[in-house]
Amino acid sequence: MITKFLGRVFSGRIFKTLQPKIIPFGAHGVARTRVSSCALKTTQTLQQHNFVAFIVGGAVRDLLLGREPKDFDIATDATPEEVRRVFRRSRIIGRRFRLVHVLCGSETVEVSTFRGSHSADDAEAGGADEHGRILRDNVFGSQQQDATRRDFTINALFYDPASQEIWDYHGGVADLKKRRLRMIGDPEQRYREDPVRMLRAVRFAAGCGLEIEPKTRKPIRALAQLLQNVPPSRLFDEMLKLLLSGHAAGCVAKLRKERLHHGLLPLLDVILEQPLGERFVMLALKNTDERIRAGKSVSPAFLFSSLLWHEVLAAWKSMEAKGVSAIPALYQAMEQVGQVQAEKLAIPRRYGTDMKEIWALQPRLLQRSGRRPYRLLEHPRFRASYDFLLLRCQSGEVDVEIGEWWTRFQDADEQTRQQMLVQETAPGKGRRRRRRRKPNAKPNDTE
């Protein structure tokens, strides 16, 4: 409570001249009926307990753009402990900055306490690294400070469902109307505080159809190497948001334009410079975007297996050139690529396992004789591997006839399937010889 009180007192001095532009419902048209029932109930309950509570960030931005927000976040002057006491079904999470998850049935809303500003003393005390990246972020403050601490003006908007007003401290509504993405404060300093903001700039620009303001864009190329200091797990989370935004193809194009693709996925820049590799990657991204926009599910494992496939393919051919047999060479290539990417992007093991299975089934999909096709149909990763094969066919990497064969084979009756099977080119190939036991051999005593 003391920290909260001091934050209010000092923030009143520092931000005395920073007043929000309060935009009434008639000017923006965002009705409270567009807010989820859980978010509406949470803000109302906090306000009834004499706390300030607003819908914030991306939800407000999406509502203004006429989109359906994926989730609703709430900012309040209540501390995590105070929020926890108000809501029986809630829990405090987080280490870097404590948050509260409030549960309403199957829906969860995230409630954060207004954040305060950092000072030079905080950095000297170990709150930032030598590049300026913020390491500790558990500082409470006022609503004005919270608005200033947010990255872009379009994310520093506060919506009060009770009054249906939008509080705009940094001109975010005007920037949305102008289709402009603008950083709050000095862009270079803000990127140094959190290099991931460079990736967020690309994601918001591509996803919302915005142009990055020249001043906001200028430092990006010079500071791109700071992404190497970001923990791999956090980099993966941000990259996943970017690729599952429904605008992945546009995001990757902007990453390339801003020279941010180097180092995110090993040699992704090299892949995009190879005609076959670029065609394959862009087909995969466009396919992902179409599925997301249609409300269909998307597998992160499938997406990352697509992005890294041509690295696996190159390593596979290299292993074979050294005399390693085809299948062992493929498995060695998968391990090699996996180890390289793990240093830059911490893809969770559950995705990595699925990716390897998709890759491992590719040579088996070329085998269309005997019982092999039947066994593949029963494999749990068949559908993903089949979709992956179709992408390879579309990109020109594999004969289109093979993809068409599998499309027909899946839905054919047994008689048709038998007629479709390809005859073995070398009779007897792949058959195992039964070892004959020597006449004088004695059975093992343990049998």
Q: Which residues are catalytic?
A: 71, 73, 151
| Cβ 131 vs Cβ 172: under 8 Å | no
Helix axes 232-243, 196-208, angle to 10 degrees: 10
| Cβ 301 vs Cβ 330: under 8 Å | no
Secondary element (H or E) of residue 191: helix 187-193
Residue 147 to residue 437: CA distance in whole angstroms: 81
Residue with tokens 């193809």: 249
What token pair was written down for 115? 């954040």
Helix axes 248-257, 275-293, angle to 10 degrees: 140
What token pair was written down for 189? 């300093």
Residue 118 to residue 137: CA distance in whole angstroms: 8
Residue-by-residue DSSP string for 36-72: -HHHHHHHHHHHHTT--EEEETHHHHHHHTT---S--
For residue 132, the one-letter residue type is: G
Residue 265 to residue 232: CA distance in whole angstroms: 11
Rg (CA), the chain: 28
Q: Where are the beta strands (DSSP E) in 250-392?
A: none
What token pair was written down for 345? 């992007």
Secondary element (H or E) of residue 207: helix 196-208
Contacts of 336 (CB under 8 A, 6+ apart): 315
